[in-house]
Homo-oligomer: A and B are copies of this chain.
Amino acid sequence: MTGAGAPAASRALRSQGRRTVRRLLEAGVEVLAAKGYHAARVDDVVRAASTSHGTFYRYFANKDDLFRALLVEVGEAMGEHAESLGPLTADDAGREELRRWLVGFARLYDRFAPVVRAWVEAEMDTDQFGRVGADVLAGFAGILTERIEAADGPVDDPASAAIVVVAMIERANYYAAVGHLAIDPEPLADSLAAAVHAALFGISTPRVSH
C-alpha cells in the first residue's frame, strides 16, 4: 500500500517512485490547507512537491485521484480510531472513556483538517469522492450505533441518535479547525463529552449538585 493512485496501481514502484508519491501526497495536503479543494491547482501541487506535471500524472490519474487517495488515508485513520471506542456506560468511567475518545478524535481531525475540509467542499461533485467520505461517516455512525445499543441506555432510536452525535462531533470539530467561530479546544472537548453523554444517558455533568 503505497498510497498512489490509479496509474501506479499496475506497476511496482521502486523506492524513488514511492518517495515521489509520498511527496505528492504531502504536497496535496499543503495545497488543500492553503487554498481548499476547488481552488487547488495541479500546478500548485507539483510546485509544492518540487516535481513536474508529467510526474504527477505518472502516479495519479488526475487531481481528484490524488485527493481521493488522501481521503482514503484519512478514512483509514479515522476508522481505526472509531473502533477504539470502549463500552459506553452511564457512570463516570463511561464519561471519561468518551472524553478520551473525543480528544483522540479532535487530534486526528486537527491533523487531517485540510483533507476533511476538501471533502466537505467537494461533497457534491464527484460521486466517487463523495462516496469515500460518506463511507467514512457511515462507518463512524455504525460503530457508535453498536456502542449505544450495547449501552442499553434510555435512547429510543440508536441509529438516529448516533447520527446526531456524529453530526455534533464532526461539525464542532470542523468549526474549531476552520476557525469559523471562535472556540477554545479544551472547553469544547468538555462540552462535547458532556453533551454526548447527556444525549445518551440523560445526565449532563457530574457537577450538577445544586
Considering residues A38, A124, A125, which has the most beta carbons from chain B within 10 angstroms of its beta carbon? A124
- Is A14 in contact with chain B by the CB < 8 A criterion? no
Query: Which of B138, B161, B188, B194 sits near A163, CB closer than 8 Å?
Result: B188
Taken together as a complex, chains A and B put the C-alpha atoms of A40 and B178 apart, in Å, by 24
- Is A199 in contact with chain B by the CB < 8 A criterion? yes
Q: Contact between A172 and B164 (Cβ–Cβ < 8 Å)?
A: yes
Q: Which of A187-210 contact B (CB under 8 A)?
A: 187-188, 190-192, 194-195, 198-205, 207-208, 210
Q: Contact between B181 and A138 (Cβ–Cβ < 8 Å)?
A: yes
Considering residues A39, A190, A192, A195, which has the most beta carbons from chain B within 10 angstroms of its beta carbon? A195
Tell me the nearest residue of chain B to A167, going by C-beta: B171
Taken together as a complex, chains A and B put the C-alpha atoms of A201 and B202 apart, in Å, by 9
- Is A128 in contact with chain B by the CB < 8 A criterion? no
- Is A93 in contact with chain B by the CB < 8 A criterion? no
- Is A78 in contact with chain B by the CB < 8 A criterion? no
Chain A residues with CB under 8 Å of chain B are: 35-39, 117, 120-121, 123-125, 130, 134, 137-138, 141, 153-157, 159-161, 163-165, 167-168, 170-172, 174-175, 178, 180-181, 183-184, 187-188, 190-192, 194-195, 198-205, 207-208, 210
CB pairs A–B below 8 angstroms (24 shown): A36-B123, A38-B38, A39-B124, A117-B123, A120-B121, A121-B121, A130-B180, A137-B175, A137-B181, A141-B181, A154-B208, A155-B205, A163-B191, A164-B168, A164-B192, A167-B167, A167-B168, A167-B170, A167-B174, A167-B175, A168-B172, A168-B195, A195-B199, A198-B199
